[in-house]
Amino acid sequence: MFNNLDIITLAKHAGAAIMEIYQRDFAISEKSDASPLTEADLASHHCIVDGLKVLTPEIPVLSEESGADEHQGRMAWQTYWLIDPLDGTKEFIKKNGEFTVNIALIEDGKAVFGVVYAPALGVTYWGDAGGAFKETDGQVSPIQVSDIPADGAVWRVVGSRSHQSDEFKAFVKGLPKTEVVSMGSSLKLCLVAEGAADLYPRLGLTSEWDTAAAHAVVTAAGGQVLQYPELTPLLYNTRPDTLLNPFFIVCADRSDKWT
């Protein structure tokens, strides 16, 4: 199969390619959906895809920057890599450091292993059935979600740095005391995974590659990622016509304060 360390190292190599571009001027183009694209997205994509072909040639790869022809047959894939070479391109362009490299392994619709690397921050998260971990400055620590806030306590809610929807704002108003923390990219899910936040309600559009790696970290840390309002587990590669996620909630567990 593969060694987790090899995939973590690959994410860091992709991060190094991103940082080389981050530290100089770079061109910005626009994709067909009007989202931004930089040469860093493509440099990271090629680094990861080429690396995975060497490490796990038997496992197909689906990347945000894959061509449409590379998506063909994906519904028949039981196991595959799902990657976002540069999650948080808008944060990359703003140069606020809140962007990540996301590599996830999907098995039977579930994110079973994931690496989230924030190269500008020097932080790496990863998780699988063996637990969830965070590395900062070379120091590795296990992480886990926090307990649900007690009655009267403040709910720490993560919101998008660039995409706070009206639905999100209404959801927050329905909670007891709240403190909203804004963050970019898949780092939002990781804040819940490490117990630095209690909830991340994503009531706006995302793609499957945006969430899968951090989803694996959340699950490994004891948390849940649930479709909202159904409150069923978020799954991957279940719809042939789209790679968009439904609305979802990232949490330690369900609570009558928001269900």
Q: How do the domains of the chain map onto residue ranges? A: 4-143, 155-251
* 219: pLDDT strictly greater than 80: yes
Residue numbering of the annotated binding site: 64, 84, 86-89, 210
- 155-251 under CATH 3.40.30.10, yes or no: no
pLDDT of residue 28: 78
Is-above-0.75 flag for pTM? yes
* 35: pLDDT strictly greater than 90: no
Mean per-residue pLDDT over the chain, rounded: 93
Strand order in the sheet with 155-160: 178-183, 155-160, 199-202, 248-251, 224-227
* 68: pLDDT strictly greater than 90: no
Cα(39)–Cα(258) distance, integer angstroms: 41
Residue numbering of the annotated binding site for Mg(2+): 64, 84, 86-87, 210
* 1: pLDDT strictly greater than 80: no
Q: Mean pLDDT, to the nearest integer, of 45-68?
A: 95
Cα separations in angstroms, 258 against 142, 165, 195: 28, 17, 18
Cα(60)–Cα(21) distance, integer angstroms: 28
Highest mean pLDDT among 115-129, 153-167, 171-185: 115-129
* 69: pLDDT strictly greater than 90: no
Q: Mean pLDDT, to the nearest integer, of 111-137?
A: 97
Q: What's the Rg (C-alpha) of the chain? A: 17
pLDDT of residue 163: 66
Greatest CA separation for the chain: 53
Phi, psi (degrees; rounded to nearest 5) at 225: -125, 115
Cβ–Cβ < 8 Å for 115, 11: yes
Residue numbering of the annotated binding site for substrate: 64, 86-89, 210
pLDDT of residue 162: 66
- Which CATH code for domain 4-143? 3.30.540.10
Instruction: Calculate what percentage of the chain has a pLDDT beyond 70.
Output: 98
